[in-house]
Amino acid sequence: MTPGWSGTPSAAGRGARYGQSVLFLELSTVSAYESLEDAPAEYQSLWAEWCAGRDSAELQDYSRAGMSAEFGRIVGLTLGYLLASDQGGDFRLTSWVGDEARILSEFVRVLSVIERRTPEVRLCAHNGKEFDFPFLAKRLLIHRIPRPAKMDISGVKPWNLPHLDTLELWHHGGRRGYIGLPTLAYLLGIPQPYEWARGESMHARFYAQGDYEGIGKQGQLEVYTTAQVLRCLAGEELLSPEVFRWGEVHRV
User: Is 5 contained in some domain?
Assistant: no
| pLDDT above 90 for 17 | no
Q: What is the torsion angle, in degrees rounded to the nearest 10, for the CA atoms of residue 3, residue 134, residue 31 and residue 142?
A: 80
Average confidence (pLDDT) over 196-211: 85
User: Is 91 contained in some domain?
Assistant: yes
User: Is 146 contained in some domain?
Assistant: yes
pLDDT for 155: 76
User: Which pLDDT band, with edges at 50, 70 and 90, does 198 fall under?
Assistant: low
Q: Is the pTM of this model over 0.75?
A: yes
> pLDDT > 70: what percent of the chain?
87
User: Is 3 contained in some domain?
Assistant: no
pLDDT for 125: 97
- The least confident of 20-29, 33-42, 125-134, 198-207 is 198-207
Residue numbers of the domain that contains 217: 11-251
Domain count along the chain: 1
pLDDT for 164: 94
pLDDT for 58: 64
Tally Cβ neighbours within 10 Å of residue 70.
Answer: 13
User: Which pLDDT band, with edges at 50, 70 and 90, does 19 fall under?
Assistant: very low
| pLDDT above 90 for 252 | yes
Average confidence (pLDDT) over 6-19: 46
User: Is 1 contained in some domain?
Assistant: no
pLDDT for 55: 72
Among 33, 137, 43, CA closest to 51: 43
pLDDT in tens, 110-123: 999 888 888 888 99
Please give the mean pLDDT across all residues of the chain.
Answer: 86
* 196 touches 182 (CB < 8 A): yes
User: Is 4 contained in some domain?
Assistant: no
CATH number of the domain within which 57 lies = 3.30.420
User: Is 129 contained in some domain?
Assistant: yes
- The least confident of 36-40, 105-109, 233-237 is 233-237
pLDDT in tens, 67-98: 999 999 999 999 999 876 544 578 999 999 99
pLDDT for 226: 97
Average confidence (pLDDT) over 149-156: 80
Residue 4 Rama label (left phi>0; alpha psi -120 to 50; beta): left
pLDDT in tens, 36-75: 999 999 999 999 998 887 776 666 789 989 999 999 999 9
Average confidence (pLDDT) over 20-33: 92
User: Is 2 contained in some domain?
Assistant: no
